[in-house]
């Protein structure tokens, strides 16, 4: 069994719980209140700013030019394409660029990104990959799952978000990260694999907390 499959089996119950969370259930049915989705858009914007930094750290820790190029490509896509797309998408909900830039991360968001940044800064490349992978992987699963629901795709604004994470390009990036996880974990002793597994599970649980915080519109900050 590849190490990524081991991680998938560990993370799957958490991701399935995410899919059952009211935020994603109502998004899937097209009934999610727009103010909750707007809250999510703002929180996701500030989350992505820190998430980009992890790919930059991946370039620093990578041992091969191939991996450096892959991290660089992902960082470039987020910085120069995804962030602009995020800003344009937010406008459809009446959210300005200034509102996005002035958003403060709530406690769950801040705790999540600080965990990933600290793990990525202080830890090894395998630890960095284990920390960032649950976000990419769970979104791929969510996108593909929601895209199967015709009702989810009937909403004029939510449809665009769903298809973004269900499309082939996003899933290719996710597949790259999964394969990288297997590559950097190969040959590691069990004690180190268990540490990677723990990091992966923590990030996966933070994903659930992120959805929950957005649904409840928890705007308090630390």
CB atoms within 10 A of CB 116: 26
Residue with tokens 């989705």: 37
The interaxial angle of helices 34-61 and 125-147, nearest 10 deg, is 150
Residue-wise over 171-201: b if at least 16 C-beta within 10 A, else e? bebbebbbebbeebbeeeeeeebebbbebbb
- Long-range contacts of 18-27, Cβ-Cβ distance < 8 Å, separation of 24 or more: 18/138, 18/142, 18/207, 18/208, 18/211, 19/141, 19/142, 19/145, 21/208, 21/211, 21/212, 21/215, 22/215, 23/211, 23/212, 23/214, 23/215, 24/142, 24/146, 24/211, 27/146, 27/152, 27/158, 27/162
From 18, 74, 135, 214, active-site residue: 135
33 is catalytic: no
18 is catalytic: no
Active site positions, annotated: 135, 207
């Amino acid at each position: 069994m590849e190490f990524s499959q081991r991680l998938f089996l560990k993370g799957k119950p958490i991701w399935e719980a995410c899919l059952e969370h009211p935020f994603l259930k109502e998004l899937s049915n097209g009934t999610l209140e727009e103010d909750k989705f707007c809250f999510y858009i703002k929180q996701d914007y500030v989350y992505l700013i820190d998430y980009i930094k992890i790919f930059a750290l991946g370039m620093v820790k990578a041992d091969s030019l191939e991996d450096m190029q892959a991290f660089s490509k992902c960082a470039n896509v987020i910085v120069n394409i995804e962030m602009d797309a995020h800003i344009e998408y937010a406008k459809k909900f009446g959210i300005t660029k200034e509102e996005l830039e002035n958003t403060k991360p709530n406690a769950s968001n801040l705790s999540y990104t600080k965990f990933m940044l600290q793990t990525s800064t202080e830890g090894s490349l395998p630890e960095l990959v284990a920390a960032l992978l649950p976000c990419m992987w769970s979104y791929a699963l969510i996108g593909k799952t929601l895209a199967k629901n015709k009702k989810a795709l009937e909403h004029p604004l939510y449809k665009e978000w769903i298809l973004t994470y269900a499309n082939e390009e996003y899933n290719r990036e996710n597949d790259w990260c999964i394969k990288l996880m297997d590559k950097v974990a190969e040959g590691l002793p069990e004690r180190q694999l268990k540490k990677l597994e723990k990091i992966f599970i923590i990030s996966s649980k933070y994903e659930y907390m992120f959805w929950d915080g957005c649904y409840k519109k928890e705007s308090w900050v630390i």
